[in-house]
Amino acid sequence: MSIHPSAIVATGAVVPESCTVGPFCTIGPEVVLGEECNLISHVVVDGRTRVGAGNTIFPFTSIGVPPQDLKYKGEPTETIIGDGNSIRECVTISRGTVGGGGVTQVGSGNLLMCYVHIGHDSQVGSHCILANNATLAGHVTVEDHVTLGAFCPVHQHCIVGAYSFVGGGTIVTQDVLPFSKTSARRENKAFGINTVGLERRGFSPERIEMLKKAFRLLLVSKLNTTQALEKMRQIEGEDVATVVKFIEQSERGVIK
């Protein structure tokens, strides 16, 4: 096991021999690390936190720290991190709260760039990119394969749909449609589907064309949302059905 002499690993922490814990790291007594994690230096992992295998955590990151919620009174809530994430400098991931379900969770294969903040009780899927200074308030859900641009704050209880791309500097106060390309020029708008991202993820031309057809009905036609949904239900394919279901279940409304 490679633990630098300046690191502090509390009694009770589980640190496999395959892990590397660099200078001035602090690991709390209820932390469980997976195999082959690399804590480069000055990393704090605290609380009831489980970190999966193969994660690289860069300097000045804090994981499992108490939530920035005045209602939190030290309850034993959790943080769960998946496998193979790259968590860059100064990222903060707060543990959950009793009122929000008790768990903050991050999936696998994500890139969290510098100064990303994941607030209490947020749920981040897998294979996402959160660029520099993207910040999630409490209770945010980010589904799989999302790219969230730099300096994007996401309001509490918003959902960012799977395979969506959110441009830098967009203030997200409503749900982001799955597969969409959403950005703020003068105001937040969806600008069709995330074609480049979907192609990179292996979507066939046929799947992409079906989504384009659905988004034209939703965004470009003169139909209102209810009328557009009626037309969209007639388009074949699981992807369009996913969009329809997402809109129907949205509590905050969606960005169009």
H or E element, residue 80: strand 78-81
Sign of CA dihedral 24, 28, 29, 31: negative
**8 A C-beta contact, residue 89 and residue 58:** yes
Nearest C-alpha neighbor of 161 from the set 84, 222, 249: 249
Integer angstrom CA distances of residue 100 from 124, 158, 177, 195? 15, 14, 23, 34
Q: Which of 121, 144, 175, 239 is catalytic?
A: 121
Lookup: tokens for 59: 């300097």
Active site residue 69: no
From residue 83, how far is each of 54, 87, 107, 162, 250 by CA, in Å?
Answer: 6, 11, 7, 19, 29
Alpha-carbon span 148 to 168, nearest angstrom: 7
Active site residue 121: yes
Catalytic residue among 34, 107, 119, 138: 138
Q: At what angle do helices 205-215 and 238-249 cross, to 10 degrees?
A: 30
Q: Is 4 a catalytic residue?
A: no
Say which of 42, 82, 83, 120 is annotated catalytic. Answer: 120
Catalytic site positions: 120-121, 138
